[in-house]
Amino acid sequence: MSQKQTEQNTPPGNDSAQDTSGRWRGRFSVAPMLDWTDRHCRYFHRLLTRQTLLYTEMVTTGAIIHGKGDYLAYSAEEHPLALQLGGSDPAALAHCARLAEQRGYDEINLNVGCPSDRVQNGRFGACLMAEASLVADCVKAMRDAVSIPVTVKTRIGIDEQDSYAFLCAFIDTVAGRGECDTFIVHARKAWLSGLSPKENREVPPLDYPRVYQLRRDFPALRIAINGGVKTLEEARTHLRQLDGVMMGREAYQNPGVLAQVDRELFNAEAVVPEKADVVQSMYPYIERELARGALLGHITRHMLGLFQGVPGARQWRRHLSENAHKPGADVRVLEQALALVNRRPA
């Protein structure tokens, strides 16, 4: 019997996928974003929200297996944390998933949504939507190798293969043969040629109703949505129909929104962190990373949008942008920038 035909009406349980209250960790998450959601970004985001599921940038199996750096490094404070993998070889993906589990990651996510030429040339990302059986084999290999959840992030279609029937066939194959029970669906199709990755995030129209229908037609699966989510009110609207919401660029460019997530979406009694306190809480981490050879600007670039809408926000951004990359820059740069922000309640 296909996943679409099942009579089950609630998503499957998985202890490692739940928070302490039994709620699915992916109820709200920050999207994996290349060159953005690195270790420093995730540490910063975690100070704003304790409950949000964080994702790494996409890491290829080749980088993990053959690269000279440690592509699985992270700080323990980042949990709950998912590793997004890019690849299409089941054995290599299983090997990397096993390494990630050993390192303590909470989830493995397979990228079936990135449309860039470089990713296509490596035969992974969105182009894999045309090879549902291969995706199923990849997911099954990882599920057999690890006990932590294995999920898939995908689009609603690619090129001319953008019918709802095509999407259902893809989900049915990966859920059935691959035993995948969780899909994060970017509610746009991807054009594999003719559009840049940036244009693919903006030009193809969003189709939220299609993702809602997918949840109704596959009641045994967890379905989360991604694409164009800018406010927590929008997130709440999606959560009336779906199991989870993933926020991307808005969470990065306006990270202050994350400070409200725990109270608004998880626990009405959660404490909302003060932004100035979050900055000061970064100081020990920054000092530790600088001692290891990191550059201040590589950390503070993720913090530029924190005070969006607050008097002095422009001065905060300017001071960090002009001074964080100077030789010898340290936490004093943040102290000076923080003094430029009017932190009194509006």
Which secondary structure element, helix H or strand E, spans residue 305, and what is its range? none
Calculated CA dihedral for residues 323, 329, 331, 334, nearest 10 degrees: 0
Tokens of 48: 């704003």
Summary count for the chain: helices (H), strands (E)? 15, 8
Class level of CATH domain 275-340: mainly alpha
Res. 274: pLDDT tops 60 = yes
Res. 118: pLDDT tops 70 = no
Confirm or deny that 122 is annotated as ligand binding: no
Query: Any idea what the Cα angle at residue 55 is, between residues 332 and 207, rounded to 5°?
Result: 120
Res. 192: pLDDT tops 90 = no
pLDDT band at 116 (very low <50, low <70, confident <90, very high): confident
Res. 14: pLDDT tops 60 = no
The residue with greater pLDDT, 259 or 193, is 259
pLDDT at 124: 80
Confirm or deny that 228 is annotated as ligand binding: yes
Average pLDDT over the chain, rounded to an integer: 92
pLDDT at 24: 82
Res. 10: pLDDT tops 50 = no
Confirm or deny that 273 is annotated as ligand binding: no
CA distances from 262 to 38, 52, 88, 213, 312 (A): 22, 7, 35, 28, 26
Res. 7: pLDDT tops 50 = no
pLDDT at 3: 45
pLDDT band at 339 (very low <50, low <70, confident <90, very high): very high
Confirm or deny that 241 is annotated as ligand binding: no
pLDDT at 120: 64
pLDDT at 198: 79
Res. 115: pLDDT tops 90 = no
Q: How far apart are CA 72 and CA 289, in angstroms?
A: 17
For this structure, is 114 an active site residue? yes
Confirm or deny that 255 is annotated as ligand binding: no
- Region 76-103 average pLDDT: 98
Q: How far apart are CA 286 and CA 169, in angstroms?
A: 47
Calculated CA dihedral for residues 74, 76, 82, 87, nearest 10 degrees: 30
Res. 105: pLDDT tops 80 = yes
Percentage of the residues of the chain whose pLDDT score is greater than 70: 91
Res. 71: pLDDT tops 70 = yes
- Region 274-279 average pLDDT: 97
Query: Any idea what the Cα angle at residue 257 is, between residues 255 and 258, rounded to 5°?
Result: 75
pLDDT band at 6 (very low <50, low <70, confident <90, very high): very low
* Contacts (Cβ under 8 Å, ≥6 apart) of 90: 137, 138, 140, 141, 142
Confirm or deny that 249 is annotated as ligand binding: yes
Give backbone dihedrals phi and psi of 144, rounded to 5 degrees, phi first.
Answer: -70, -20
The tens digit of pLDDT for each residue in 124-183 reads 888 999 999 999 999 999 999 999 999 999 999 999 999 999 999 999 999 999 999 999
Percentage of the residues of the chain whose pLDDT score is greater than 90: 82
Which secondary structure element, helix H or strand E, spans residue 61, and what is its range? helix 61-66
Task: Return the CATH number of 28-266, one of 3.40.50.300, 3.20.20.70, 3.30.2290.10, 3.40.190.10.
Answer: 3.20.20.70
pLDDT band at 196 (very low <50, low <70, confident <90, very high): confident
Options 114, 127, 138, 180, the catalytic residue = 114
pLDDT band at 16 (very low <50, low <70, confident <90, very high): low
The residue with greater pLDDT, 126 or 257, is 257
pLDDT at 343: 60
Q: How far apart are CA 340 and CA 247, in angstroms?
A: 29
Which of 103-107, 118-122, 197-201 is predicted most confidently?
103-107
pLDDT at 194: 78
Q: How far apart are CA 103 and CA 86, in angstroms?
A: 18
Nearest to 48 by CA among 284, 274, 311: 274
Res. 26: pLDDT tops 80 = yes
Q: Do the Cβ atoms of 105 and 79 come closer than 8 Å? A: no
Tokens of 27: 């109820």
Confirm or deny that 84 is annotated as ligand binding: yes
Side-chain-side CA neighbours of 167 within 13 Å: the count stands at 29
Res. 202: pLDDT tops 60 = yes
pLDDT at 9: 36
Nearest to 182 by CA among 146, 138, 139: 139
Q: How far apart are CA 86 and CA 67, in angstroms?
A: 14
Q: Do the Cβ atoms of 110 and 150 come closer than 8 Å? A: yes
Quote the distance between the C-alpha of residue 304 and its chain's center. Answer: 19
Q: Where are the domains of the chain?
A: 28-266, 275-340
